[in-house]
Each structure stands twice: as structure tokens, then as C-alpha cells.
Structure 1
Amino acid sequence: MTTVRTLLGLPGLRPHPSTAEGLLDRAVTRIYVTELPDPGRYLTAGELVLSGLLWWRAPGDAEPFVAALAAGGAAALAASGADAGGIPEDVIDTCARHGVPLLEVPPDLSFAVVTERVVLALAAAADGARKRLLTAAAEDAPLADLLARAAEELGTACWVLSGVPRVVAGTAPLPVSAAEPVRQFAAARARPTAAGGLTVLPVESRHAVPWLLAVDGPLSTAQTELAEELAGLVGLARARSRPSPAPLGGNVRAVALRTEDSSEADDVLAELLATTELATFKEAITPTGSRDHTDALALVADDDSWPGGWADDAVTALSTVEPLLRATRILAGVSDPVPAAESRGAFEVARHALSLAAQREGDVVVVPAAALGVHQLLLAGASTDLRAALRRRLLGPLLDYDAEQHSDLVRTVRVFLECSGSPTRAAKTLHIHVNTLRYRIGRAAELLGVDLTDFVAQVDVYLALTSES
């Protein structure tokens, strides 16, 4: 990285005595020559501004010029005296007040020479930065180390973000929510973009869920080229990383996820579970029963550390990444916690929760096991033909009666049972008189040949009633 201090090694440039020592470590990314009284609209961060101070005429003229440099993030002002008296006190004082490093250029030193020397120094530094990054990548440095090296070369903080979204690695706290740059990147149709004060570039890879490189602040041409180089190295680092989690003990949860594009499900699930920072284990066996080829399955550790409201958080995360995928729907189901030895049952519960998610509307649906009644899980294990046969066996006379009389005794019985067999509550729900309710339940009981106040009979009838849902 080239800094103001680095350029002081060039012949002719020297810091003005008023410049604080700590300001000399600012990164320099390019040089800009100007004699405009207010160059703010043409500045980019990190520029060394070279000026002969031809714009200065009287005390007070320095304020708009230096203020523009400070606001634009200029690295320093290199100035040659406007006359034989050297740099005006007005310029010196204003630079000190705004914290802009001030360098002196001898009057006999051509600006063309200064520009050429600085450009060559920046080019040499850029080549060196690329070589150092390539060396770090070749040494298979961890992603965090690669970013730390890159931040030094770029002179600013940088992060790798997952489209889920999450911060995969970074050199400082991310100043915005990770979702913000991901959404803006998606809105820009996966092209480099500016978001929340960050420059965001894509990380090329074959993974379905994209990673992004975010760099703090607007970048110069040289910084952009180096950031693009870094994005490529991050993609290589991602391709090389092949985590192989160990089998889990203790309590676990099973998670099942489905996308319409079968090639995306595994990657989406892996990135989603990475947001929990809990250990995961990809189950090698297939749970009993059929499963769609697009389903991705995993076990997640749950030793009292499962995030509360995980399903809602997962919907939010998946809704952020969904515009970046080929899939138009993402569905997921998660089981209750069980001992690791009972993982097969957990997978079955997760898959049935996934099936329930498929019945609901929405581009992203996540269903926790708590949304499944026990009767639903029991019925889910029965084939469609078996459930239809049981429904006909228990409810046949009632179904036929409703069809012939155009009545609605089936619904009346279901509401009655869902109201815990309370005639008063059921009548209120159906908006009928309680005596009418009692008559209908009595008629239904006659047709079915069962006592609808008997608990066992209620269970049988209710299972038959819900076997289609």
C-alpha cells in the first residue's frame, strides 16, 4: 500500500512542519492536479491533490478548497507556493484545522515530474500488492488472513458476505446489516454496485448461493483492480474449502430444505445453517420412505443453543438470497430436538414439516415441527390409499348423507370435535342455536353408529376427518 509517508521518499516532496505525524499514514491511490477554487465534485477518496495555489488570492480562499479535500477523503495536499512567499498561512492553518496533510513542493520542481514519480510509485505498489496477495493465496492462507493482507494493500476494510446473508469473514465490524449490500447487489442484477457506503463485487464460484466481496468506501481505479483480483482469490479459497463435519452427539434437530432447482438445495441449506454458528452433520443415509430428489437434509447440534424464533429468522434470510437464485420457491421444515440416536425419526418429522410448507403460499416458507399436530404426523406415515379407505370406512354413511341431502354434517362434527366436544362453543363457531347443534350431532352419531361423546370414538372420527388435510 502506498501512503503519504511512502511518497516522502520521492525527491522534492517534504511534509510541512504543521502536518501531524499521524496523518502521514493515509493511503494514496492516485494523483490529481487542479487549480479549481472548489474541486469537490471531481475528487475521489485517497487522492494526492497537487496544486500551485493559483486559485488563492486572499485570506479565506483556502476554506472552500481545503474543506472540499477533507470531505472528499483526499490523502494530502501537495502545494507549491503561490508566490515567492511560499505557501500562505491561510492554507497552512486551514489544512491543520481540517486534518489534511500538507506537503511542500519546491518552486523549481515541475508538476509533470512530480506526477510521473507518483504514478510510477503507485504502479510499482499495485504490482507488489498483487504479488503479495497471490503469494498469500498460494500459501493457502485462511480467508481471514487473506482479507487482512488485502485490507493492508487496499488501505481500507473489506468483508466477504454470503447471500444468505451473513458475514463470512471481515477485517472490521460491518457498518451496515449484511442483508443491505446483498439486496442492493440483487437489485443491480448481480453486477458490481455501491451499497451503504460499500463497493460490492461478485465472487466467482460454482456455488448456488453467491459470495460477495464488500470494500469500505468508493474505490479508485487501482483499488478496484486490486479488489477484483481479491474477489477471484476469494473464489478460489471457497472452492478449496471442503468442510467435513464430524458426527454429532447429544441432542440434534433435523432440517429438510427443497428448491425447485435440485442443484441449489444443498448449497442453500449449508449456507443457511452456517448463520446459526452451530455444528452440522450431513446425514449420509436416506430416511425411510420416499423423498424428492431436490430435498437437502442435515442434522444440527441443539444442546440448548438453538436460536429462538429460528423459523422466522430463516424466512428472512432465505428471502434475501432468493432473488439471486434460479429457484422461485424455497421451502424448509425443521424437527423438534431429539437424541442423536433418534435422528431417523427427526428426519421424518422434518420432511413432513417440509411437506406442510409445500402446501402453503409464499416464495419462502419454513415450518417448524411445532406447527405439526401429532395426528398429522401419524397420518402422514399412511399411504394416500390407506387414508382414503379409513375415511370411507369411518365416515361413509355421513359422507353419503351429506351428498344426498346437501347438508353439512361432516363440517358440524369436525367443528364439534375441534371445540373439545363443547356444544356451546361449537354452536357459537357455526353461528347456530345450541339445540340445533345437539340435534345435528345426534343425527350424525346415528348415521355413524358411534357415541360422539366417547373419547375413543372421537379420536377415531377426528383422524378420519383430518385424513384429507
Structure 2
Amino acid sequence: MTVVKTLLELPELRLRLRGGGDLLDRRVTRVYGTELPDPSRYLSAGELVLTGLLWWRGPGDAEAFVAALARAGTAALAASGADSGGIPDDLIEACERHRIPLLEVPPDLSFAVIVERVVLELAAHREAPPGRLPAHAVELSLPELLRLGATELGVPCWILAGTGRVVASTGLLLPEAEPLAAAFSMGAEVDSRHTVLPAGEGCTVPWALVAGGDTARWTAEQHEIAAEVAALIGRRRTPARQTEAERSLFRVLNGGGDLAEAFAAAGWAPDTSVRVVLTRTEGDAVAGDLLDELLAGYPLRVLRGRFGDDSCALVAADGWPSDWPAAAGRALSTVEPALPPGRVLVGVGGPAALTGVRGALEEAVHALEIGANREDRVAVVPGEEIGVHRLVLAGVSDELRAALRRRVLGPLLDYDAAQHSDLVHTVRVFLESSGSPAVAAKALHIHVNTLRYRIGRAGELLGLDLTDFTNQVDVYLALRISG
């Protein structure tokens, strides 16, 4: 039997006890990682819970998190305080209050190492029923585990993400991937040609083990094997953790410092071109999970972190698929039923040189704002959809917008108000028709001579030649200031 004390005695983990020394005989049955502020819905008794404290923003945040662990019967909490300068005092106090053993993880130790070592320890003390997978299955990679499961079951198998992405397969195509993923995400019944078993809990995007063939005739032993394969797949899912170089880079991006030096420390060449992807949801950890899933499956170099309140990925543009925004939109639509309530927004900026990353970040932020103004629950907006005039006007204050609009368009606005006319609309249609009288007249359902007269009258009021390109740009920007 594996207990909390056993984990402290594993030299390669270097775990440090920070509280709960009288509770070390609690039995550990599994390991689970989370960055949710309230992980209640995903917890089960006997777990060693891992967290990088991404949910902790300040004193008082620990109470709800630790209370959820206590209600679920958590065996112990293992936390890494690398991003916050150590384990917060309120987390130590909350663990003492709720009687949760607290273990501190060294900042240079990957959670993946902890998961692997704990799973091995649990497997070593487990009495496996006859007919199930061999003990070494816990050490296999996902593709190897899937091949073993397919061999034992005698049917083709796949690991399917709720987005429709095939994470691994036994070599056969899964043409029904997106419909299967959509049905799985909605909790609907899947077609009779496949058996779908949930693989892992606690992640925003669900994964499943999909087994093909007529599984209605499976023996009890086969069902046990499939359940064990699914459980082992779930244990492979651990939160992505930042390296120290990534943490340093995002501190520079959010504050100040030498970007070139920060990118060099992360191993990126000076001539690298970068895309920026920002994800915004009502739950910060949810956004990070989604961003990881949306970029998975592409051979791209990625640096992950946070920019302001949004989850951020800096992606090497070399090899960036041109259809990524559309593919991301389809993936999010497929998994949407499984997502927590609230909107999901994704903005893309760039490509840009490393020295221009801050500009690409601003572009991605404006893309998020455009998505926020749309009615859809899920919106993926690439920078290419943002007109240059939007970016030029983005940093202008409301007061300056009003002043500029009045300065440029004042006489025209006054004329329309006094005469109950709509010359402003006529000018806007004319400019949006590339200054073509024929096209504008057709759009307004008037004669072209009438259109020319109105544009001439508007020019007189404004004191501008509206056939001059520079004047057209100034007037068009003034028109767009108010949307």
C-alpha cells in the first residue's frame, strides 16, 4: 500500500513536508493535476493533487481550493511555488486548518516526473487481477500503450480528444473523428460501431479511448482491459509547466526588459518569426488547457505563459498552418458542449519579428476585443480580419475620438441635423465604394448625377475635395471613429 510518507521517501522527487506531519499514513490511490481555483467536480478520495499554483493570485485564494480537497478526501497536496516565490502562507494555513498534508515540489522538478514515479509506485503495490494488462504498461508511452491495448482487445483503437483531434492511433484512420468527438462531448450515445470510454478527468478538453468493432460481444476480461487502458491514458495527462526561461520571458513581456535577451535564453534565434495566440475564458486555467489543445498536433515551437489576464502562446511562425484559425474554430465548436459556461475567445497576432512581438500582442488583444463584440459563444479572430484603421484608432481616447470626429465632420453633421438629410451616409457609402460614383449610386439606389451632386455639396461643406485620396482617408477615419 502506498501512503503519503512513501512519497516523501522517494529521493528522486525531493519533496519537502510543509504541514500535516501527523497525517502521513493516508493512503494514496492515484495522482491528479489541476490549476482550477475550485477543482471540486473533478476530485476523488485518496488522490495526491499536484498544482503549480497558477490559480493563486493573492491572500485568501487558498481557502476555497483547500476546502474542496478536504471535502473530496484528498490524501495530500503537492505544490510548486516557483511562480509566486514559494508556497504562500495562506495555503500553508489552509492546509493546516483543513488537515491536508502539504508537500512542496522543487521548482526544477517537472510534474511529469512526479506523475510517472507515483504511478509506478502505485503499480508496484497493486495486485492486478488475472487477465488485465501487464505491470509494465504503466511505463509505456501513449502510442505503445494504445498498441498494447489494441493487441489485448483484438480491435483497432484510437485516443480521441473532444476537439476531434486523433491523439494516437493503431495506424488506421478514424474518419468519424469529429462526429464521435461531438457525441462524446455532449454525452450522447455513440454509434454502435465504436465503444468510447472517458480517459482521464479534470482537463477542460476531454479525451477518450475509442475501440472499434462489435464490442457488444466483449468478454468481461476485455471490458476490464479497456477500462484499464483508459485509466492509464488519463494518467498521462498532466498540466504543461513553464520552464524558468519561459517564466522569465513572460515577465519581460508583461513588464519590461530586454526581449532579445529573454528570447535567446529560451533558445530562439534572433531571426525567428512569431505568431501570438491569446485565449480568454471565464476561467483562467480553462483558457490555458484550451490553448494547449488547440496547438497540439502541430510541429510548432511554442512558448506558453500569460499576458495580462489572458493565456498566451508565442508560436514560431515557420510551419504555421494558414487554416489554423478556421481549424481552431471547428475544434472549439466540436468540444463546446463539454466546456464550462461562459464565452471562449481566441485572438491571433503576427507574424512578427522577435523585436516586434509587443506589436503582435497588441494585435491579438484587439482581435480578442472584436471577438467579444460578436454574439457567438466561441470566436476565433485572426489579425488578418482586423482593418488597419481599427488598429490605428485603437489607442485613441474617447475624448480625442469625439474631438477629431467633430473637427473633420462638424459642418456635415450640422447640415444633416438642420436639413434632415443624410449626407454623412452618402459620403460613407461613396468612400466604401472606393470613391466610385457609379458603384455608390447603385448601392444607394440613386442616379449617378445625384450622387455626384451630393458628394460635391458635402465637399463644399467640409472645405475638402472628396476625390482627393488623402482627404478621403481623413474623412473615412473620422467616420469610422464612431464605428
The reply to whether residue 155 of structure 1 matches residue 154 of structure 2 is: yes
Q: Who is 1:173 aligned against?
A: 172
Cα distance, 1:452 vs structure 2: 1.9
Cα distance, 1:248 vs structure 2: 4.4
Cα distance, 1:385 vs structure 2: 3.2
Q: Distance in 2 between matches of 1:356 and 1:298?
A: 19
**Cα gap change, 1:390 to 1:247, in 2 (>3 Å):** farther
The reply to whether residue 333 of structure 1 matches residue 344 of structure 2 is: no
Cα distance, 1:321 vs structure 2: 0.8
* Counterpart residue type for residue 129 of structure 2: D
Q: Distance in 2 between matches of 1:212 and 1:262?
A: 24
The reply to whether residue 399 of structure 1 matches residue 413 of structure 2 is: yes
**Cα gap change, 1:196 to 1:413, in 2 (>3 Å):** farther
Q: Distance in 2 between matches of 1:417 and 1:466?
A: 11
**Contact 1:349–1:369 at 8 Å: present in 2 too?**
yes
**Contact 1:201–1:212 at 8 Å: present in 2 too?**
yes
**Cα gap change, 1:386 to 1:177, in 2 (>3 Å):** farther
The reply to whether residue 343 of structure 1 matches residue 342 of structure 2 is: no
The reply to whether residue 298 of structure 1 matches residue 305 of structure 2 is: no
| Secondary structure at 2:160 match in 1 | strand
Post-superposition Cα deviations, 1:114-142, rounded to whole Å, max 9, x if no partner, equal xxxxxxxxxxx98245462x5432x4x32
The reply to whether residue 377 of structure 1 matches residue 379 of structure 2 is: no
Q: How does 1:57-456 map to 2 (within 5 A)?
A: 127-130=129-132, 132=134, 134-137=135-138, 139=139, 141-189=140-188, 193-195=189-191, 197-217=193-213, 218=215, 219-239=218-238, 242=241, 248-249=268-269, 250-283=272-305, 286=307, 293=309, 295-303=310-318, 305-456=319-470
Cα distance, 1:247 vs structure 2: 5.4
Post-superposition Cα deviations, 1:35-74, rounded to whole Å, max 9, x if no partner, equal xxxxxxxxxxxxxxxxxxxxxxxxxxxxxxxxxxxxxxxx
Cα distance, 1:320 vs structure 2: 0.5
| Secondary structure at 1:264 match in 2 | helix
**Contact 1:248–1:281 at 8 Å: present in 2 too?**
no
| Secondary structure at 1:168 match in 2 | strand
Q: How does 1:37-76 map to 2 (within 5 A)?
A: none
**Contact 2:276–2:348 at 8 Å: present in 1 too?**
yes
Q: Distance in 2 between matches of 1:298 and 1:240?
A: 15
| Secondary structure at 1:445 match in 2 | helix
**Contact 1:257–1:297 at 8 Å: present in 2 too?**
yes
* Counterpart residue type for residue 364 of structure 1: V
Structure 1 stretch displaced more, 413-422 or 255-264: 255-264
**Cα gap change, 1:222 to 1:159, in 2 (>3 Å):** same
Post-superposition Cα deviations, 1:264-295, rounded to whole Å, max 9, x if no partner, equal 211112101114332222255x3xxxx6x3x3
**Cα gap change, 1:408 to 1:220, in 2 (>3 Å):** farther
- TM-score, normalised to structure 1's length? 0.64
Q: Distance in 1 between matches of 2:324 and 2:191?
A: 27
Q: Distance in 1 between matches of 2:180 and 2:409?
A: 56
* Counterpart residue type for residue 136 of structure 1: A
Cα distance, 1:354 vs structure 2: 2.2
* Counterpart residue type for residue 320 of structure 1: T
Cα distance, 1:299 vs structure 2: 1.7
Post-superposition Cα deviations, 1:323-347, rounded to whole Å, max 9, x if no partner, equal 1111353332222322233221111
Q: How many residues align?
A: 331
Q: Distance in 2 between matches of 1:148 and 1:358?
A: 43
Q: Distance in 1 between matches of 2:219 and 2:481?
A: 65
- TM-score, normalised to structure 2's length? 0.63
**Contact 2:412–2:462 at 8 Å: present in 1 too?**
yes
**Contact 1:247–1:281 at 8 Å: present in 2 too?**
no
| Secondary structure at 1:282 match in 2 | strand
Q: Distance in 1 between matches of 2:292 and 2:369?
A: 20
Aligned-residue RMSD, C-alpha: 2.6
Post-superposition Cα deviations, 1:348-388, rounded to whole Å, max 9, x if no partner, equal 11221222222233333322222222111111222333323
* Counterpart residue type for residue 329 of structure 2: V
Q: Distance in 2 between matches of 1:369 and 1:378?
A: 14
Q: Distance in 1 between matches of 2:421 and 2:287?
A: 46
* Counterpart residue type for residue 445 of structure 2: H
**Cα gap change, 1:357 to 1:372, in 2 (>3 Å):** same
**Cα gap change, 1:383 to 1:220, in 2 (>3 Å):** farther
**Contact 1:180–1:195 at 8 Å: present in 2 too?**
no
* Counterpart residue type for residue 463 of structure 1: L
| Secondary structure at 2:381 match in 1 | strand
* Counterpart residue type for residue 137 of structure 2: A
Q: Distance in 2 between matches of 1:270 and 1:424?
A: 50
Q: Distance in 2 between matches of 1:265 and 1:302?
A: 21
| Secondary structure at 1:127 match in 2 | coil
**Contact 2:276–2:364 at 8 Å: present in 1 too?**
yes
Q: Who is 1:56 aligned against?
A: none
Q: Distance in 2 between matches of 1:340 and 1:182?
A: 37
Structure 1 stretch displaced more, 368-377 or 446-455: 446-455
* Counterpart residue type for residue 365 of structure 2: R
**Contact 2:205–2:338 at 8 Å: present in 1 too?**
yes
**Cα gap change, 1:392 to 1:275, in 2 (>3 Å):** farther
Runs of 5+ consecutive residues of structure 1 not aligned to the other structure: 1-124
